[in-house]
Amino acid sequence: MRKKITSVALAIIFSLSMAGVSLAAKCKGKVESVCEGKITITIDGKCKLKDGEKVTIKSKKRAVEGC
């Protein structure tokens, strides 16, 4: 009985943590300048970001053309 309760509790915790990740905002923009560890980004459209908020930036991979 304890194993069933533990497994159900772990399943609920896992599903709630994944729901929090899916609520992350996705904004698109263009890097304007990079200076001494600071990046200035112009955001396209509406995005609810505040000054000083921490963000994670993923860059696009560029293909290398061959001969």
Q: Is pLDDT at 66 greater than 80 in this prediction?
A: no
Rounded Cα distance, 25 and 32, in Å: 21
Q: What pTM did the predictor assign?
A: 0.41
pLDDT (tens digit, 9 = 90+) per residue, 21-57?
555 667 788 888 888 888 888 888 787 777 787 877 7
| Cα 46 to Cα 33: distance, rounded to the nearest angstrom | 21
Structure tokens that stand for 54 in this block: 């921490």
- Residue ranges per structural domain of the chain: 25-59
pLDDT at 47: 79
CB of 42 within 8 A of CB of 30?
yes
